[in-house]
Amino acid sequence: MIPQTLADEHLLFDSFMRRHDYLRISITDKCNLRCKYCIPDENAEFMKFEALLTADEIIRCAEFFVAELGVTKIRITGGEPLVRKECLDIMRRLKAINGLKKLAITTNGLLLKEQLPALKSIGLDSLNISLDTLRPDRFQLMTGRDQFNDVMSAILAAVEQGFHPKLNAVLMKGINDDEVLDFVAFIKDKPIEVRFIEFMPFDDNHWNESKIVSFDEVYSVIGKKHTSKKIQREKESTSNVFEINGHLGNIGFISSITQNFCAGCNRIRMTADGKVRNCLFAATEDELDLREILRSGEADSTKTAMLKSAVKALFWKKKFKHAESKELVQIQNRKMIAIGG
């Protein structure tokens, strides 16, 4: 039973009194890369366009979460969000929502360079770019595309235009774990935060515990050559971030498997087809279908009440932490591309 004092507030809590004010909205499950740990099948099928939330529905959901549940930050994700033609218009409309304090995007960078001026004019607050390797030949092997130079050009252009991007690098043993020091060298004179991410299990991504490169392993490699100092972050932060002596950029670690950060979780995830998830590793059967409510014949005020009640109930059931890795592989989850991260 949700305490009345919390049920009446325009804030979203779970039963462990964690406030959830960070909404991650996937606007498409399509992507122009074929990263082996994300879309291993070159002929993968994606959601039909009519299954996706429309731009108006996305904005309506965002306005609901901000006004009714106290969301202050929204991140646009995919798939690759920039492949959706409406992406910039959606972001422009999101930025105008009263009460929203921060707008961010995660992209693979292929289409980014030409969109940087528009993102700057919109007032984008945070930019994350996925890049798992600094080697062009390895990039092609890992992504199925020979477009490393496009991504690198976009990263450097973003820095030139005043962004301080974060680079998301998923490390996998025997694949790219020999590049840790290369990434450290890369941010020596650039205001970039490289975030090493542990390989996580999702549907059909051939996850294996032996492929995980843990925080301890990476930190040990860096520590043999560099001195570092931990930066204090908010409790909701997913990453442990370190200053590297003599470097303009920072190094972060997202250790979802070996050192989870569930205790401070403040994230709400909405998939491109309008399903809300209270955890990245939630089972598909535990998703809440917002699209069904939005497209029902109920009056708008009734829909808002239904949405609020349903979302609050979903998060009140949220567990304190996700399952251990060996159990995660047994959960009927979506592909990463269909969740949005």
Residue extents of the structural domains in the chain: 4-339
**What phi and psi, each to the nearest 5 degrees, are found at residue 183?**
-65, -40
Cα angle for residues 47, 49, 51 (degrees, 5° grid): 65
Say which DSSP state 27 is in: -
pLDDT digits (tens, 9 = 90+) for 214-236: 889 999 999 999 999 999 877 76
- Residue 206's pLDDT is 61
Residue 86: beta bridge partners?
none
| pLDDT higher than threshold 50 for residue 143 | yes
| pLDDT higher than threshold 50 for residue 183 | yes
CA atoms within 13 A of residue 286's CA, in its CB half-sphere:
18
Nearest Cα to 238, choosing from 128, 125, 330?
A: 128
- Residue 59 burial (C-beta neighbours within 10 Å; 0-12, 13-18, 19+): middle
Calculate what percentage of the chain has a pLDDT beyond 70: 88
Q: Is 114 helix (H, G, I), strand (E, B) or coil?
A: helix
- At residue 7 the predicted structure's pLDDT band, cuts being 50, 70 and 90, is very low
For residues 206 and 31, what is the distance between their CA atoms, to the nearest angstrom? 19
Looking at the domain covering 4-339, what would its CATH class be? alpha beta
Average pLDDT score over the chain: 89
For tokens 């994300």, the residue is 38
The full 3-state SS of 33-54, as one line of letters, equals: CCCCCCCCCCCCCCCCHHHCCC
For tokens 């490393």, the residue is 148
- At residue 203 the predicted structure's pLDDT band, cuts being 50, 70 and 90, is low
pLDDT digits (tens, 9 = 90+) for 67-112: 999 999 999 999 999 999 999 999 999 999 999 999 999 999 999 9
pTM of the model: 0.92
Q: Where are the alpha helices (DSSP H) in the chain?
A: 4-7, 55-69, 87-95, 116-122, 136-143, 148-160, 180-186, 215-223, 290-294, 300-316, 325-328, 336-339
- At residue 280 the predicted structure's pLDDT band, cuts being 50, 70 and 90, is confident
For residues 277 and 198, what is the distance between their CA atoms, to the nearest angstrom? 21
- At residue 53 the predicted structure's pLDDT band, cuts being 50, 70 and 90, is very high
- At residue 328 the predicted structure's pLDDT band, cuts being 50, 70 and 90, is low
- Residue 4's pLDDT is 42
Least reliable range by pLDDT among 8-12, 147-151, 193-197: 8-12
- Residue 205's pLDDT is 54
Least reliable range by pLDDT among 27-36, 219-228, 318-327: 318-327
